[in-house]
Structure 1
Amino acid sequence: MQVILTQDVDNLGKAGELVTVKPGYGRNYLVPRGLAVSATVRNKNRLEHEKALIERRVSKERATATELAAKINIMTLQFERNTGEDEKLFGSVTSRDIQEQLKRAGVDIDHRWIQLEQSVKALGKYEVPVRLAAGVIAQLKFWVVGKDK
């Protein structure tokens, strides 16, 4: 029996794929749980149409993400923080801080896209990857400097 998966199914395939399964597995498990639909001519045509729409949307997202990545790659941000005598920061620079500064610079992204492993707690120059949509990754450079006292 052939079915079209409506959701990702472990060890079987991803959403939108046409797969062959045993009839009992398809009728009694996949279809009733909404994980798949029967591969009728109508459903196959709908699948092709949806794939075309998804492909167009992904290509637009990739173009937008590439444009945004180019913008981020040339940026260098600067954060001023109070420091102690050993140049340790009072506080830290987090992905939310970076997001706010990017927003002020005209780049509005989700803070979870900023791949900062842990918050920055020392002065210096840093480079952090920013994972944008459609697998595009930008490299953001920023400085953490001490405030003048």
Structure 2
Amino acid sequence: MDVILLERIGRLGQIGDTVRVRDGYARNYLLPTGRALRANDANRARFEAQKAQIIQRNEERKADARTVADRLEGKTFVAVRSAGETGQLYGSVSARDVADLMAAEGFKVGRNEVAMQQPIKMIGVHPVLIALHPEVEVTINVNVARSPDEAQRQEAGEDLTSYEAIYGSDEEDEILEDEAEVEDEAAETEGEAEDETTPAA
């Protein structure tokens, strides 16, 4: 389907461009959200008549998005989730979850504006891109932890998925010592065996 863009859309074009898109993308997203018009003579005439207003409206939306982006810049949102010992979540943190976290702190951001390629499935501090407008993007941090205490530790830079965090450094030292003892014993046994098989001069 050919459509006339009413705002700049990444990889598609600028305001006023006529572009060809998939029918489903046009019907389910571009047309109902007011981002485009079907490309026909009537709509081209309508666009030309309202072009100045459309551009002004877009500039206003862009300015509003920049204001929100300035408030979001560098902000961290905490998501407390159940996770296993290694940090693997029992569920996941989706774009909708991130939008809900932001809404709880007074930021009205739609799920479609949370540009996540896939849900978060591990604890840790994850950067997430928020596309507030085709020309305004900002990166926030989502701190996924098993408790508020763990979230604070992660915020301070601690990696809770490391061997030490999971098993404790003392236990790791003991395991390494045990392994060293086993290796020493194996070496001694091997040496004794060689002595027994070596013929006398």
Q: Same fold (TM over 0.5)?
A: yes
As a proportion of its length, which structure holds more helix? 2
What percentage of residue pairs aligned between the two structures are identical? 26
User: 1:56 matched to which residue of 2?
Assistant: 56
User: 2:40 matched to which residue of 1?
Assistant: 35
Q: CA deviation at 1:134?
A: 3.8
Q: Residues 60-100 of structure 1, C-alpha deviation per residue, up to 9 Å, x if partnerless?
A: 01100101111121321011111112221111111111111
4+ long deviations beyond 3 Å: 6-9, 13-17, 46-49
Pairwise mapping of residues 19-98 of structure 1 onto structure 2 (< 5 A)? 35-37=40-42, 49-98=49-98
Which structure is higher in RCO with an 8 Å CA cutoff and minimum separation 6? 1
| Distance in 2 (alpha carbons) for counterparts of 1:15 and 1:107 | 27
Larger Rg belongs to: 2
User: 1:139 matched to which residue of 2?
Assistant: 139
As a proportion of its length, which structure holds more strand? 1
User: 1:22 matched to which residue of 2?
Assistant: none
CA, structure 1 residues 65+81, in 2 after alignment: closer, same or farther (shift >3 Å)? same
In the alignment, structure 1 segments of 5+ residues that lack a partner are 1-5, 18-32
**Matched residue count:** 120
| Distance in 2 (alpha carbons) for counterparts of 1:116 and 1:62 | 21
In the alignment, structure 2 segments of 5+ residues that lack a partner are 6-12, 18-37, 150-201
- Secondary structure in 2 aligned to 1:97? helix
Q: Residues 111-149 of structure 1, C-alpha deviation per residue, up to 9 Å, x if partnerless?
A: 01111111111111110111112421111112111137x
| Distance in 2 (alpha carbons) for counterparts of 1:146 and 1:69 | 28
